[in-house]
Homo-oligomer: A and B are copies of this chain.
Amino acid sequence: MKIGIVGGTGDIGEGMAMRLSPYYDVIVGSREQDKAEATCTMGREQMTKRGKPCSMKGVTNQEAVDAADVIILAIPFKHAASTLATLHGFENKIVVSPVNPMEKTDHFIFVPPAEGSAALMIRRILPKDARLCTAFNTIAANKWKALDEELEYSVPVCGDDAEAKKIVMDIVNKVSRLKAFDAGPLAVSSMVESLTPLLLNIARYNKMRDVGIQFR
């Protein structure tokens, strides 16, 4: 299975690409192909050093969309709408949003768009038959990149297409010790997206780092 990462050279995308590369053909997308290739060179080096298989290829964001079966939108909320406006070809593809709309003042706070959540906004922008799920919302960039650490976290997954959701949950369950949980339809994705500013506040006010979550 080919997993394309739009924004694959960013903070989250880079670690995500490496963590997925032993199990899937990862197509790293970027606005600049050179940067995507550099991420792949670095990624292969990191994985090889650890004796792990690694399939990564660096291309443009559009080529990542075109080539992939599953597309992860590893972009900050503030660039989500504008990036999607430059891309096409999402028809019938599984699209994963780890996007969290939030702002920082004295603390972090969930600030959803008019649609109610980033996922619902993205659904409005994408073609009707794109198969959108949310996943990976609460995994910190530093944790993605800390390849020698296991990720012992729960990952809530929202989506309206049961088959797509199953495929996304299987992808989640491949990564380290992540455990996917069905969190319901996209209509309730705001409650998943608001976990991230909550966890950032927990880290801030309790002198912790890269706090994650477990359901139990």
Copies in the complex: 2
Report A149-177 CB contacts with B as 1/0, cut-off 8 Å.
00011001000000000000000000000
Do residues A109 and B214 form an inter-chain contact, with CB atoms below 8 A?
no
Q: Measured between alpha carbons, how far is A208 from B206 in the docked complex, in Å?
A: 30
Of B108, B192, B199, B208, the residue contacting A198 (CB under 8 A) is B192
Q: Measured between alpha carbons, how far is A190 from B188 in the docked complex, in Å?
A: 14
Do residues B188 and A156 form an inter-chain contact, with CB atoms below 8 A?
no
CB within 8 Å of B: which A191-207 residues = 191-192, 194-195, 197-199, 201-202, 204-206
Of B107, B194, B205, the residue contacting A187 (CB under 8 A) is B107
A23 an interface residue at 8 Å Cβ cutoff?
no
Further contacts, 14 of them, CB under 8 A, given A110-B190, A191-B198: A106-B185, A107-B184, A107-B187, A156-B202, A181-B205, A182-B202, A183-B198, A188-B197, A191-B194, A194-B194, A199-B215, A212-B215, A212-B216, A213-B215
A211 an interface residue at 8 Å Cβ cutoff?
yes
Query: How far apart are A5's CB and chain B's nearest CB, in angstroms?
Result: 26
- Range, interface on chain A: 35 or more
Residues of A within 8 A of B (CB): 106-110, 152-153, 156, 181-185, 187-188, 190-192, 194-195, 197-199, 201-202, 204-206, 208, 211-216
Collect the chain B residues with CB atoms within 8 Å of residue A208's CB.
215
Do residues A152 and B216 form an inter-chain contact, with CB atoms below 8 A?
yes
Query: How far apart are A102's CB and chain B's nearest CB, in angstroms?
Result: 9
